[in-house]
Structure 1
Amino acid sequence: MEVVLASSSVDGGIGCWDLHTGAEQLRYKSCLSPSHGLISVGSRFIAASQLRETSATSGSVLFWSWSKPQVEVKSFPAEPIKPLASNHPGTFIVGGASSGDIYLWEVETGRLLKKWRAHFRAVTCLVFSEDDSLLISGSEDGTVRVWSLFMIFDDFRGQQANNLYEYSFSGHTLRVTDVVIGNGGCNAIIVSASEDRTCKVWSLSRGTLLRNIVFPSVIDSIALDPAEHVFYAGSRDGKIYIAALNTESVATNNCGMHIIGSFSNHSKAVTCLAYGMSENLLISGSEDGMVRVWNARTRNIVRMFKHAKGPVNNILVVRRENSTNHISSNVQTLSRKQGANLPPPLEKYANSIDEDSDMSTMVSLGGGSSSVVPSYISSHLISNYIKELQHQGSSAASEMETEKLKHDYQRSMQMTNQWKKMYENLNKFCVQELLDGSQATTLDENHN
């Protein structure tokens, strides 16, 4: 069963509906989440960040099980967390802080594994790549950065590198509102939206800007068509724009280059978009409090859901039938012993357990495939996790490393050829100078 989850920035809880029948499921209580603050953790449970006041100096992260409407686990990080993201198996949760820091927790133990300075201003959005080896972040400072978990977990390499990030895209002039990444590993594209009314398409393999699209209004949300021919952009003027990804420059409907159409039924700004995992369904949420399900091909409304209260600012589409399969047998046994289905609260600060002790936990990442089950075994977390990623071989991060090495090799060869040519020219010049000097000396001697 595919379900649609919707939350609001006011305390309207989390609405849950069957995507294909429209039947309302449980309504989860006590949730007022910021934009990008609602996630499903490995389809096992729901998590949301909370900010009671926009100027709050503290916040919380709440967990709900699928079967109960009440909050079951409350966490209180060291600073307010706005965007959240989880890798596909649900072994990690990352949170973006108002300070510009990113926090990374291990789900099953709640341990704070990493915290690093990611941006100069607040982090606004986070997303994992399809194989979970890369994390992409957007910020109020207008930058989009690509983080390799190889680098984040490798302290030695991190100390040697000038920057922890793989790429820092700085093309936007205002706050980044949304970021999505496509499929294709190293050859994937990244699309970012900003309050500067542009969406930018970036090449992950080359680290360059492929396309800049200017919209009539600010874009707050984007969703990629599964075939990646187009992407949809939810605008503050209430329209959903369609932008071409792999065609030549076109201008239609006086909208601008690469915008090939738009459709609308929301009376206020479109704040969030999501794509259904089956069929060709696009789901949109708006400040008008409505959730609309569209047939993306015909652009007709299939069904509508009304959120309980306030504007909708988060939409998720989650497949529920495999949710119990994502928990390993070890974790299920542990949960039964503890009398709970949910993991413990997230740590506020990193603990001081000796890294050489055997108390660490190794998390098997697995990748984006739904058939992979995360396992938890006693070992050294960091070194084993790096090996786990390296053994995947096809990860975007390793492919990107290869591409960068090829590029560095080509640059080195070019520099070598330049130095060789300069040496040859210098050698010719010196020989010529010696010959000219020798001839001049001989002429002087003959003259005398």
Structure 2
Amino acid sequence: MDVVLASSPVDGDVGCWDLQTGAEQMRYRSCASAPHGLASVAGRFLASSQVGNSSSGSILYWSWHKPQVEIKSFPVEPIVSLVSDPDGSFLLGGGSSGNIYIWEIGSGKLLRKWQGHYLAVSCLLFLDNSLIASGSDDGCVRVWNLVSIFGERDNERMKDPFLFSFQEHALRITDIVSGFGSSNSILISSSEDRTCKVWSLSKGKQIRLITFPCIINAIALDPGEDVFYAGGRDGKIYLAALNATCPSNGKFDEYIITCLNEHSKAVTCLEITKDGLSLVSGSDDGTVRVWDIKSQRVIRVLKLRDGPVSNILLVQLPNSTSNLERVAKLPSLDKNLDPTGTLTAIRISPLNGPPDFGYCSSRLMLNAIKELKQRSSVGAMEMELDRLREEQRVCAQLLQRRKKLFDDLWRARIDTLLDDDQ
């Protein structure tokens, strides 16, 4: 089932509705998340950062089938933005001080912490399993390589570990989205300076600037990557072209095609379905609107009980909840940095049948292997082989990522030389 989730920055519930019918499915209680503070962890459970009036915040977990909070964690500082990697192995948090945190979900360990920005990290994005992008109140957009970050022992003192640092925006970054292609993709950022900028990650530079009539709070990229939608503080949703210009009417920038106008207050968040047929928008007017992209008309209006809408997620819920019971057994997230920085939890999935996204401590696994070895059992040999296969798989993935990074850097260097020759 495809569902729409919406949260508010005031103390209230997270609403959950069926995308196709608009029927309410659940209300997840006690959530007050700032923009970009709501995350689906690989579709297995819901996580949210809570930022109140106090100097500290919290991170909460909910199971899909229970309205109550199941796990509470208390980081050392308020976490503004929160995102999970595509596999649901890591949780990435952007702090109010500009620090970026990486937790291992299975063990709760804080693996890495580094000063990513000078001001609060307003938004975070996984480009793939190894590349992340961050936007900040300092107006800077940065792209990071996790392979390099995990390769550093004293990562709190790393000097310029980012791949790119785009500093052309004049004010706070409000949102970032990316296309397909990882390190060869495009990145779009919106800012309170009333512009959206398009960046080429293969070239490491800005390739387009679009100026809007108002501040843009949120953006959503069409799957075809020909256009993108920008939600403005004037309550309008602007449709902008990426690969062509539009006839000038003297009213909008040359890249702005049209605008959609149904919200009575500022548009705060946008999401687009994977098939590119529907656009979902949230607003300070407290409504979530589902748009038919072809006709550019609202086909459904959903209402939060209290306050404005700060976040929207589109999630495909699993058909069975049997593998979600383990959420309550996950550990809370550590406050302090793990001195070893090593991964200690391994995701276990069966060879046959539906995937099981549970976690098992590697220490428990090694103890089980040791015990079985003492019994000289065949099971110990099979478990040892499985462990070696997992290590081989991880090493192979790391090697492929390093090769891809080298190829991307080589292509970028060649493109730069060719551009200079022209």
- Normalised TM-score (structure 1): 0.79
Deviation track 1:350-379 (CA, whole Å, cap 9, x = no partner) reads 234696xxx833569xxxxx9897876738
| Equivalent-residue separation in structure 2 for 1:325 and 1:245 (angstroms) | 44
> Does 2:287 match 1:300?
no
> Does 2:108 match 1:103?
no
Question: Contact between 2:246 and 2:256, CA under 8 Å: does it hold in 1?
Answer: no
Shift in alpha-carbon separation, 1:325–1:143, aligned structure 2, 3 A: farther
1:32 aligns with: 32
2:258 aligns with: 261
2:89 aligns with: 91
1:434 aligns with: none
Question: Contact between 1:104 and 1:115, CA under 8 Å: does it hold in 2?
Answer: yes
2:398 aligns with: 390
| Equivalent-residue separation in structure 2 for 1:257 and 1:399 (angstroms) | 36
Question: Contact between 1:175 and 1:196, CA under 8 Å: does it hold in 2?
Answer: yes
| Equivalent-residue separation in structure 2 for 1:133 and 1:297 (angstroms) | 35
> Does 2:161 match 1:164?
yes
Q: How far off is 1:401 after superposition? A: 3.1
| Equivalent-residue separation in structure 1 for 2:21 and 2:101 (angstroms) | 38
Deviation track 1:35-59 (CA, whole Å, cap 9, x = no partner) reads 1000111111111111121xx3110
| Equivalent-residue separation in structure 2 for 1:113 and 1:81 (angstroms) | 16
Q: How far off is 1:12 after superposition? A: 1.9
1:435 aligns with: none
**Which of residues 130, 138, 141 in structure 2 aligns to 1:141?**
138
Amino acid at match of 1:360: T
Question: Contact between 2:203 and 2:416, CA under 8 Å: does it hold in 1?
Answer: no
| Equivalent-residue separation in structure 2 for 1:412 and 1:222 (angstroms) | 33
2:48 aligns with: 48
2:182 aligns with: 185
- Normalised TM-score (structure 2): 0.84
| Equivalent-residue separation in structure 1 for 2:239 and 2:281 (angstroms) | 13
In structure 2, runs of 5+ residues without a counterpart are: 349-353, 367-390
Shift in alpha-carbon separation, 1:138–1:353, aligned structure 2, 3 A: closer
| SS of equivalent to 1:57 | coil
| SS of equivalent to 1:387 | helix
Pairing 1:349-388 to 2, within 5 Å after superposition:
349-352=336-339, 360-361=344-345, 378=362, 387=395
Deviation track 1:83-135 (CA, whole Å, cap 9, x = no partner) reads 00001121110000011000000111111111011001110000101x32211
**Which of residues 330, 338, 343 in structure 2 aligns to 1:343?**
330
| SS of equivalent to 2:31 | coil
* Percent of aligned positions that are identical: 47
1:77 aligns with: 75
Q: How far off is 1:186 after superposition? A: 2.6
**Which of residues 86, 110, 113 in structure 2 aligns to 1:112?**
110
Deviation track 1:305-346 (CA, whole Å, cap 9, x = no partner) reads 01010000100000002676987xxxx7xx4xxxx6452111
2:409 aligns with: 404
User: Rg bigger for which structure?
Assistant: 1
| Equivalent-residue separation in structure 1 for 2:411 and 2:288 (angstroms) | 47
| Equivalent-residue separation in structure 1 for 2:417 and 2:86 (angstroms) | 38
Shift in alpha-carbon separation, 1:72–1:341, aligned structure 2, 3 A: closer
Shift in alpha-carbon separation, 1:407–1:238, aligned structure 2, 3 A: closer
Pairing 1:198-209 to 2, within 5 Å after superposition:
198-209=195-206
| SS of equivalent to 1:297 | coil
1:60 aligns with: 58
| SS of equivalent to 2:47 | strand
In structure 1, runs of 5+ residues without a counterpart are: 365-369, 416-448
| Equivalent-residue separation in structure 2 for 1:137 and 1:67 (angstroms) | 31
| SS of equivalent to 1:404 | helix
Q: How far off is 1:384 after superposition? A: 8.2
Aligned residues: 390
1:217 aligns with: 214
| SS of equivalent to 2:28 | coil
Question: Contact between 1:151 and 1:158, CA under 8 Å: does it hold in 2?
Answer: no
1:274 aligns with: 271
